[in-house]
């Protein structure tokens, strides 16, 4: 069954001196301030499209990796994923680095690397961002 998730942004003013809010409508978990300085300079308590992409990518990757490992008979004890999305004003999103650390009993480092690469390739958010360079740093913890 397909699902649709919705977020709404209200923006006032021009790009450089304007600001807005983005609300996570489907979940209702919150409304967050956004602005150009929070995107191109310092966050200063506000979010950005890139931070929201990082949140989507890190959670999607974690789910894909966890599922793949469980399907292979080696469910993880823990998976911690960080996504760094780099934005260059005037150029756009220039890359994403996914860093994952996981505890997976009974799995070799090579098997973990393969599972992480598969998750990176097949995570729906990775697929949606296919026009962007996505790098992976995967480490199996003991």
Locate 8 and state its tokens: 């709404």
> What is the pLDDT averaged over residues 107-131?
96
For 129, list phi and psi in degrees, rounded to 5.
-100, 25
Predicted confidence band at 22 (pLDDT cuts at 50, 70, 90)? very high
Tell me which CATH homologous superfamily contains domain 49-140: K homology (KH) domain (3.30.300.20)
Segment 68-116, tens digit of pLDDT: 999 999 999 999 999 999 999 999 999 999 999 999 999 999 999 999 9
Give the pLDDT of residue 3.
Answer: 94
pTM across the whole model: 0.94
Predicted confidence (pLDDT) at residue 141 exceeds the cutoff of 90: yes
How far is CA 16 from each of CA 62, 78, 113, 119, rounded to the nearest angstrom?
35, 41, 42, 37
Give the pLDDT of residue 142.
Answer: 84
Give the pLDDT of residue 98.
Answer: 98
Predicted confidence band at 138 (pLDDT cuts at 50, 70, 90)? very high
Cα radius of gyration (the chain)? 17
The whole-chain average pLDDT of the chain stands at 96
Q: Specify the 3-state DSSP secondary structure of 115.
A: helix
């Amino acid at each position: 069954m397909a699902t649709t998730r919705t977020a709404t942004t209200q923006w006032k003013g021009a790009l450089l001196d304007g600001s807005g809010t983005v609300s996570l409508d489907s979940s209702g978990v919150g409304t967050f301030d956004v602005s150009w300085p929070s995107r191109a300079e310092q966050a200063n308590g506000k979010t950005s499209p890139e931070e929201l992409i990082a949140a989507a990518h890190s959670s999607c990757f974690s789910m894909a990796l966890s599922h793949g490992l469980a399907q292979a008979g080696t469910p993880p004890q823990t998976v911690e994923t960080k996504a760094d999305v780099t934005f260059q004003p005037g150029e756009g999103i220039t890359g994403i680095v996914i860093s994952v650390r996981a505890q997976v009993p009974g799995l070799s480092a090579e098997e973990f690397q393969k599972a992480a690469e598969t998750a990176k390739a097949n995570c729906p958010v990775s697929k949606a961002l296919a026009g962007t360079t996505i790098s992976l740093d995967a480490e199996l913890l003991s």
